[in-house]
Amino acid sequence: MAIFNRLKFEKLALGKSQVLAWAIAFFSGILMALTTAPFNAWPLAWIALVPLWVMVVSYQQPIITEKKQKFLFLPSSSHPLNPLNPLQNPLPNFFLLPVLWGIGYHGLALSWIMGIHPMTWLGVPWWPSLAIALFCWTFITLWGAALVTVWAWLFVILNSLTLPAKNPLLNSPPLPSQNLTLNSPPLQGGAGGGKTQFSALTRVLIGTALWCALESIWSTGSLWWTSLSYTQSPHNLPILHLGQLSGPAAVTAAIVAVNGLIAEAFIEGRRKKEEGRRKREEGRGKKEEGSGEKEEGKRKNWVAYILPAGLFLVLHIVGWSLYNRPLIQEAGTALKIGIIQGNIPNEIKFDSGGWRRALEGYTAGYKELADRNVDAVLIPETALPFIWTNEYQRSTLSFYQAILERGVVAWVGGFGQEENGLTNSLLAIDKTGQIVGRYDKLKLVPLGEYIPFYEILGGIINRLSPLDARLVAGNSKQLFDTPFGRAIVGICYDSAFAENFRYQAAQGGEFMITASNNAHYKPPMLAQHHALDVMRAIETDRWAVIATNTGYSAFVNPHGETVWKSGLNTYEVQDATIYRRKTRTLYVRWGDWLTPLLLVLAGLMRLILRN
């Protein structure tokens, strides 16, 4: 009976330990999500990754038999199973940790996607609309969680490969404690004075390089929004200026590195504490000596946190020095730009009543801005949903007639015509009514604007969903010329993809304009979209003009400061003076050079430590 009760207690303790580890991972992911707009608790980003880092580094995959490992790419250890260690269990339990962290972060940060429901205005019944919204939310959340999971998996593998080939500590039995942070081979491999610090720094370098590399890979696809870098926007402007050095990767690397150093300091403190406890249990040293060692251990543990604190401070000093540089604004480069926020609800946007309201509102706003002597007028994405490349169709519109009458350049959000379909376009129309510039939306929204793998899935989706999603994406090398010079352009979802803006800036773009609809999303998405536009303005060192249908329209200077921002769900007509710039930041010139450098350094450090 006593044996039975003991086994029952151990099983209960194991279950509680697993649940606790999963809960910590999930809630630390939620903490990271709270750093994004509109919550804007950005300081939490510098600690929210610490719990996951500690648990990933402390992971130990049990090997019950002495058989040779069959699968090279599964993390392993030479230690037997410790039944009371929640992370010394089969791989599914380990993978739940990054999955839950990713669900907490990406799930909450992207919860605004549910704002697309209900889609009854598109003819979608209420329940199918809910199912579509839930599917989209679940899929993009798990896609983001996959990045975190791959990072944790590769991190554990590379940590195991980093261990010295011969280390007596690896052949020693596990410590008798149930503390999960002390039975990990990576930690044991680094034990011993300077070697401990070197191993910890190597792990931080590897972890940072991996995260940046995975974000770089994910950002080349069609589903990208929640980079760690945007957790600092729009309020932590000094750290966002690191983006001028190497784009979003510089900000992400800063966040991951500081989190990693804090986690390593915590792990080292726990390791020393456990070693001291074990020595006392073994009767080594007198009581007075043990007390002195305890005080010294506490002091050294606090010293370990100086490194992450120092890095945090240095990063902000570097960012502040970039942020504090004066803006040189020559009078000859000034442009007075007007914005019209039409506030046309999606429910009526594509019917005759919506068209009339849009034409009346945008035409009246255009004339008002022309009377203010603006140089150009910007209206939002598909603000006037007509095929503007069709000369006859555009000639019948009152907005077009106003352009011919007042002679002020207009940047119009509408549709363009291609042989294989329509494009979501921004068109530059000069005072004579000619189209002198055109930008077609590069990053289309999956399912909303196009069907992925249409040749395979098109027929199935068309039968299951009433949504019409057949737009054609623009060319990644397209440029947008205006009567005032070349502009950097993004339409809605494009704002999440920094490389598109960097390329246009490198090709001579002198100011930035973005046009978005966003009417079918909740306010958190609108706030996050503005945060992304702020980042793009800083990275390219350009003035940004942002026009949206329902908010937030804005003017942003090259330091990321919002000069003016509209309200939500309001009709607004606003103008401001911006300045053309020809500066080229390090990021504009070289792109993301930091991620390859981190990968090379991580590889070299791993080889050095291995040998």
Q: How many angstroms separate the most distant Cα atoms in the chain? A: 96
**255 near 265, Cβ under 8 Å?**
no
Range in 294-303, 365-374, 394-403, 534-543 with the lowest mean pLDDT: 294-303
Q: Which residues pair with 212 in a beta bridge?
A: none
pLDDT at 350: 72
Answer whether residue 66 shows pLDDT above 70.
Answer: no
pLDDT at 162: 53
Task: Over range 284-297, report the average pLDDT.
Answer: 51
pLDDT at 605: 87
Q: Which range in 173-187, 293-307, 388-402, 492-506 is most confidently predicted, on average pLDDT?
A: 492-506
CA angle 225, 231, 234 (to 5 degrees): 100
Pairing of strands 409-418, 376-378: parallel
pLDDT at 196: 57
Q: Which two tokens stand for residue 67?
A: 């058989």
**476 near 490, Cβ under 8 Å?**
no
In tens, the pLDDT along 435-444 reads 999 999 999 9
Q: Which residues pair with 554 in a beta bridge?
A: 546, 565
pLDDT band at 60 (very low <50, low <70, confident <90, very high): low
Give how far the C-alpha of residue 430 lies from the chain's centroid of Cα atoms, to the nearest Å: 37
| Calpha distance 369→118 (Å, rounded) | 36
Predicted model pTM? 0.87
Ordered DSSP codes for 72-111:
TTS---SSPP-TT-TTSS-HHHHHHHHHHHHHHHHHHHTG
pLDDT band at 311 (very low <50, low <70, confident <90, very high): very high
In tens, the pLDDT along 339-375 reads 999 999 888 877 888 889 999 999 999 999 999 999 9
Which helix (H) or strand (E) segment is 133 a member of? Answer: helix 126-161
Q: Is residue 465 helix, strand or coil?
A: coil
Range in 107-116, 420-429, 446-455, 532-541 with the lowest mean pLDDT: 446-455
pLDDT at 549: 96
pLDDT band at 455 (very low <50, low <70, confident <90, very high): very low
CA angle 258, 21, 69 (to 5 degrees): 90
Tell me which residues are annotated as active site: 381, 441, 492
The residue that leads in pLDDT, 595 or 189, is 595
How buried is residue 589: exposed, middle or buried, by Cβ count under 10 Å (0-12/13-18/19+)?
Answer: exposed
The residue that leads in pLDDT, 68 or 45, is 45
Residue 191: left if φ>0, alpha if ψ -120 to 50, beta else—which one? beta
**185 near 170, Cβ under 8 Å?**
yes
Answer whether residue 314 shows pLDDT above 70.
Answer: yes
Which helix (H) or strand (E) segment is 563 a member of? Answer: strand 562-565
pLDDT at 71: 42
List Cα–Cα distances, 203 to 129, 196, 301, 483, 587, in angstroms.
45, 11, 19, 52, 26
